[in-house]
């Protein structure tokens, strides 16, 4: 058999093109691409490769650390490799694809040893990674029975940290807490965000020396002291002095460090103290990040003082507080401060991983964690707390006709406004239901009024204050079986409810705090969450009642809202299909987008009828879905059979 000559360049190119892994070759200081095989073209469809720089070819990887690695190899002449790195790539149809890659970037040298370029080789290990993650998830489920003690410690840590952060006008706040590796587990890091009586917010990160239950317990005590003092209106120095006194009495609190910032979201004016703690990072809307000047405050219990400095957070700028675990990582760069600033800036600007649903503050917390710890891991707890100044959202003002058919449009307006201010799905659910019940009540009872007004505003304390106003006199509505539960249900949903009748109408006022959940994480893998369950989205907005195959049993699926405008139709259909409660029936409520008190009354009535007739009735709901949550709230079993 003839062996091709070594100089047969065409044969060599053809051979490389058939390699089953990604190969891309770049040359010169600007790393201009001179070749890429078929596997590379398959991963980067529609892109011009040859003649363009690596930075141009892989522009969508800016902020994901790959581009920097190419140029670092050319600069140092040393190979860089990575295993199972997550990658987001722009696709020709405008979507973003996700893959995992194991790669090596190696120097390409001339015969005399001088640098010529960089050769990149990578394997698409997405399927392998998914299988590994699935296997690890299954193994984790099997290990749970042997890890009860650790789970208790983790639960303690979660209970001692805030589960949510306030939603404030003109400010978006986010936090992420990553527990130390399994060998040390619970630690003494903490964060907090406390609204003060004068309309400002206090942002806190702290670190107690050591790990374990003792450190967690001390952390909880320090957090409670600071929270109480700040909530009472104390200034920075006074609040830290109270924590300092505790550290003088509790040995395990000695030398704990704290970074405390008090910020006015409206003006951006802030005061801060770094009590032995790393200084916060200020990330501009455009331009390089910078660290605030440390105040030279001393750790708690060491007999020092707590000087305060002032700064200003401009519109669109983000402030990041953190604990030193993010800097003191096994895989940290030689300049970890610069590395943190660079990665956090890319995350804030949206140049890192693709997550359009996250706020800039949330990206800074979660993506910074993922990008920094994925290569070298972490040995200590890591806490990140970010706040970004954003334009305040105007108050909500909706006027709807005093008829039940207008309720659907008001729900959409309420949901859109709450999404704009940054409310979580939980709070959208609560306030949509509460204001819908009050609007229904106003429509039913206001005689002589032809409209109902809904107003809502977000207070500096993080409370939504919403009013529902009618302009008619009181009337007793025509008796119907779907009446009578609205105010009671509203009072259960919100923090407070007040109804003020007057000669010109009635004003119902609700107050409810808005909170966005913090990310409390136990591992690096938990940074990458699964997509939300299908039951949380895509629910119908118009009522549909469908009869399903069921043999001798009546089976019905309901999609859309069950409110004052649709409850009587639902009632009639359920009684008709169950023949007045004399035929066994299953009602699938998983597609119900809203279950108002009128709908609850219908389900109570049909349930009572089946109990009277001693005929089975089953109500099916998705766990956590709108119908299940309301049925649990009012004490109606979501599944019943006789």
pLDDT in tens, 101-145: 999 999 999 999 999 999 999 999 999 999 988 888 888 887 776
Residue 196 reports pLDDT greater than 90: yes
pLDDT, position 307: 97
Spans of all domains in the chain: 9-129, 157-389, 396-517, 531-634
Reported as a pLDDT band with limits 50, 70 and 90, residue 333 is confident
Residue 518, both tokens? 């913090």
Establish whether domains 396-517 and 531-634 are of one fold.
no
Task: Classify residue 335 as exposed, middle or buried by CB count within 10 Å of its CB (0-12, 13-18, 19+).
Answer: exposed
Could you tell me if 178 and 524 are in contact, meaning their C-beta atoms sit under 8 angstroms apart? yes
> Within its chain, how far is the Cα of 584 from the centroid?
42
Sign of the dihedral defined by the CA atoms of residues 258, 264, 267, 269, in that order: negative
**Which of 305, 276, 311 has its CA nearest to residue 293?**
311
Residue 79 has a CB neighbour count (10 Å cut-off) of: 12
% the chain with pLDDT above 90: 63
Listed range (71-85, 324-338, 390-404) with the worst mean pLDDT: 324-338
**Which of 387, 426, 343, 374 has its CA nearest to residue 178?**
374
φ, ψ for residue 473 (rounded to 5)? Answer: -80, 160
Identify the residue whose tokens are 């529902």. 468
Residue 149 reports pLDDT greater than 70: no
- Sheet containing strand 309-312, strands side by side: 187-195, 201-211, 257-263, 269-275, 309-312
Query: 577: phi > 0 → left, psi -120 to 50 → alpha, else beta; which?
Result: alpha
pLDDT in tens, 235-261: 999 999 999 999 999 999 999 999 999
pLDDT in tens, 341-357: 999 999 999 999 988 88
* Per-residue 3-state assignment (H helix, E strand, C coil) for 95-125: CEEEEEEEEEEEEEECCCCCEEEEEEEEEEC
Cα-based torsion angle of the residue sequence 576, 579, 584, 586 in order, rounded to the nearest 10 degrees: 0
Identify the residue whose tokens are 């399994």. 182
Give the separation between CA 396 and CA 400, rounded to whole angstroms.
Answer: 13
pLDDT, position 522: 67
Could you tell me if 391 and 170 are in contact, meaning their C-beta atoms sit under 8 angstroms apart? yes
Residue 531, both tokens? 């997509």
Could you tell me if 440 and 564 are in contact, meaning their C-beta atoms sit under 8 angstroms apart? yes
- Sheet containing strand 496-502, strands side by side: 396-401, 451-458, 463-470, 505-513, 496-502
pLDDT, position 624: 80
Reported as a pLDDT band with limits 50, 70 and 90, residue 509 is very high
Over range 442-465, report the average pLDDT. 87
pLDDT, position 482: 44
What CATH architecture applies to the domain 157-389?
4-Layer Sandwich (3.60)
Over range 441-449, report the average pLDDT. 73
Mean of per-residue pLDDT scores for the chain? 87
> Within its chain, how far is the Cα of 506 from the centroid?
38
CATH of 9-129, one of 3.40.50.2020, 3.30.365.10, 3.30.450.20, 3.50.50.60: 3.30.450.20
Residue 206 reports pLDDT greater than 90: yes
Reported as a pLDDT band with limits 50, 70 and 90, residue 364 is very high
**Which of 258, 245, 250 has its CA nearest to residue 294?**
258
The DSSP secondary-structure symbol of 389 reads E
Residue 221, both tokens? 């005590």
Reported as a pLDDT band with limits 50, 70 and 90, residue 524 is low
Residue 398 has a CB neighbour count (10 Å cut-off) of: 19
pLDDT, position 528: 59
φ, ψ for residue 200 (rounded to 5)? Answer: -100, 175
Could you tell me if 186 and 155 are in contact, meaning their C-beta atoms sit under 8 angstroms apart? no
Residue 532 reports pLDDT greater than 90: no
Residue 593 has a CB neighbour count (10 Å cut-off) of: 21
Residue 330, both tokens? 């096994």
> Within its chain, how far is the Cα of 536 from the centroid?
14
pLDDT, position 253: 94
Note the CATH number of domain 531-634.
3.30.750.24
Residue 309 reports pLDDT greater than 90: yes
Residue 476 reports pLDDT greater than 70: no
pLDDT in tens, 7-62: 565 666 777 788 889 999 999 999 999 999 999 999 999 999 999 999 999 999 98
pLDDT, position 330: 83
Give the separation between CA 68 and CA 279, rounded to whole angstroms.
Answer: 26
Identify the residue whose tokens are 């507080």. 321
pLDDT, position 175: 96
Reported as a pLDDT band with limits 50, 70 and 90, residue 642 is very low
Residue 534 has a CB neighbour count (10 Å cut-off) of: 10
Strand partners, 173: 387
Gyration radius of the chain over CA positions: 30
Sort strands 80-90 and 22-27 into parallel, antiparallel or unpaired.
unpaired
pLDDT in tens, 293-307: 999 999 999 999 999
The DSSP secondary-structure symbol of 489 reads H
Over range 458-464, report the average pLDDT. 95
Task: Classify residue 161 as exposed, middle or buried by CB count within 10 Å of its CB (0-12, 13-18, 19+).
Answer: buried
Give the separation between CA 470 and CA 453, rounded to whole angstroms.
Answer: 7
The length of the chain is: 642
Tally of CA atoms within 13 A in the half-sphere of 224 that contains its CB: 10
pLDDT, position 106: 96
CATH of 396-517, one of 3.30.565.10, 3.40.190.10, 1.10.287.3510, 1.10.8.60: 3.30.565.10
pLDDT, position 346: 95
pLDDT, position 286: 87
Strand partners, 594: 561
Residue 179 reports pLDDT greater than 70: yes
Reported as a pLDDT band with limits 50, 70 and 90, residue 526 is low
pLDDT, position 239: 97
């Amino acid at each position: 058999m003839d062996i091709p000559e070594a100089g047969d360049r065409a044969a060599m190119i053809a051979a490389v093109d058939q390699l089953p892994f990604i190969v891309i070759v770049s040359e010169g200081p600007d790393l201009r691409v001179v070749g890429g095989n078929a596997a590379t073209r398959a991963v980067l469809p529609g892109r011009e490769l040859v003649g363009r720089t690596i930075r141009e070819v892989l522009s969508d990887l800016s902020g994901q650390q790959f581009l920097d690695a190419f140029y670092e190899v050319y600069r140092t002449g040393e190979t860089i490799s990575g295993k199972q790195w997550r990658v987001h790539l722009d696709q020709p149809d405008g979507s973003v694809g996700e893959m995992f890659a194991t790669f090596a970037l190696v120097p390409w040298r001339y015969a005399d040893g001088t640098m010529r370029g960089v050769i990149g080789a990578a394997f698409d290990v997405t399927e392998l990674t998914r299988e590994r993650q699935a296997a690890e998830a299954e193994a984790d489920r099997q290990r749970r029975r042997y890890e009860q003690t650790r789970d208790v410690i983790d639960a303690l840590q979660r209970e001692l940290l805030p589960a949510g952060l306030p939603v404030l006008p003109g400010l978006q706040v986010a936090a992420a807490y990553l527990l130390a590796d399994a060998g040390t587990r619970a630690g003494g890091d903490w964060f907090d965000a406390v609204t003060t009586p004068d309309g400002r917010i206090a942002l806190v990160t702290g670190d107690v020396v050591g790990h374990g239950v003792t450190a967690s317990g001390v952390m909880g005590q320090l957090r409670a002291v600071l929270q109480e003092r700040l909530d009472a209106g104390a200034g920075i120095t006074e609040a830290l002095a109270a924590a300092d006194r505790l550290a003088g009495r509790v040995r395990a609190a000695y030398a704990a460090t704290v970074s405390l910032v008090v910020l006015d979201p409206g003006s951006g004016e802030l005061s801060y103290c770094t009590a032995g703690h790393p200084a916060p990072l200020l990330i501009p809307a455009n331009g390089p990040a910078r660290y605030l000047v440390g105040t030279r405050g001393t750790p708690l219990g060491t007999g020092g003082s707590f000087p305060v400095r002032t700064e200003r957070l401009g519109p669109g700028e983000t402030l990041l507080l953190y604990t030193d675990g993010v800097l003191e990582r096994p895989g940290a760069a030689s300049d970890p401060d610069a590395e943190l600033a660079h990665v956090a800036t890319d995350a804030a600007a949206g140049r890192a991983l693709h997550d359009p649903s996250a706020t800039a503050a949330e990206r800074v917390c979660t993506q910074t964690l993922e990008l920094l710890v994925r290569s070298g891991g972490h040995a200590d707890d890591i806490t990140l707390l970010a706040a970004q100044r954003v334009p305040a959202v105007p108050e909500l003002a909706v006027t709807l006709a005093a008829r039940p058919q207008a309720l659907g449009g008001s729900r959409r307006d309420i949901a859109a406004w709450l999404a704009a201010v940054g409310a979580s799905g939980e709070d959208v659910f609560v306030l949509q239901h509460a204001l819908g019940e009050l609007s229904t009540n106003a429509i039913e009872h206001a005689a002589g009024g032809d409209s109902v007004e809904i107003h809502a505003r977000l207070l500096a304390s993080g409370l939504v204050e919403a009013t529902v106003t009618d302009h008619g006199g009181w009337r007793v509505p025509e008796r119907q079986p779907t009446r009578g539960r609205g105010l009671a249900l509203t009072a259960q949903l919100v923090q407070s409810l007040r109804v003020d009748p007057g000669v010109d109408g009635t004003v119902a006022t609700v107050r409810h705090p808005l909170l966005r959940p913090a990310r409390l994480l136990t591992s690096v893998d938990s940074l990458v969450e699964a997509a939300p369950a299908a039951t949380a989205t895509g629910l119908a907005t118009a009522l549909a009642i469908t009869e399903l195959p069921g043999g001798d049993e009546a089976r019905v699926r309901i999609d859309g809202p069950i409110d004052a405008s649709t409850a009587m139709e639902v009632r009639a259909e359920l009684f008709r299909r169950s023949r007045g409660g004399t035929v066994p029936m299953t009602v699938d409520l998983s597609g119900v987008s809203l279950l108002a008190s009128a709908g609850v009354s219908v389900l109570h009535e049909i349930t009572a009828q089946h109990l009277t007739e001693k005929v089975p009735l089953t109500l099916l709901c998705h766990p956590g879905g709108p119908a299940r949550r309301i049925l649990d709230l009012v004490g109606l079993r979501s599944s019943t059979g006789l």
